[in-house]
Amino acid sequence: MPPLNSLIYRGWTITPRTFEIRGSHQWTLDLVIAYRTKRRAFSGPTKFPTEQAAIRGCHAFGRRIIDGREPYCSLEDLL
């Protein structure tokens, strides 16, 4: 069973690891993408006003990575 807030997409598990930046009321774009027993962490410069917005942003970013639409974010060696 995937962790809370995780999303299964095309056989990959996207798990947000977002956190609030202390004192800023902003949440980070920080996630892990896993396939079977292998995983890789990704992050980005985008900030979000709420935790729920950050979770949705992490899911969207993860789907773009899995679809090969994010430059410099590869999962090829995890297959």
How much is the pLDDT for 79? 85
Under a CB-based contact definition with an 8 Å cutoff, are residues 41 and 32 in contact?
yes
Say what the pTM is.
Answer: 0.92
Q: How far apart are CA 54 and CA 74, in angstroms?
A: 21
State the pLDDT at residue 66. 98
Q: How many domains, the chain?
A: 1
Give the structural domain span for 67: 7-78
Question: What CATH number is given to the structural domain containing 17?
Answer: 3.30.160.350
Residue 59 lies in a domain: yes
In a domain, 21, yes or no: yes
Q: What is the largest CA-CA distance in the chain?
A: 39
pLDDT of residue 41: 97
What contacts 12, CB < 8 A, 6 or more positions away? 33, 34, 35, 62, 66, 75
pLDDT reading at 1 higher than 60: no
State pLDDT tens for residues 25-73.
999 999 999 999 999 999 999 999 999 999 999 999 999 999 999 999 9
40 in a domain, yes or no?
Answer: yes
Q: Is 31 helix (H, G, I), strand (E, B) or coil?
A: strand
CB 65 within 8 A of CB 43: no
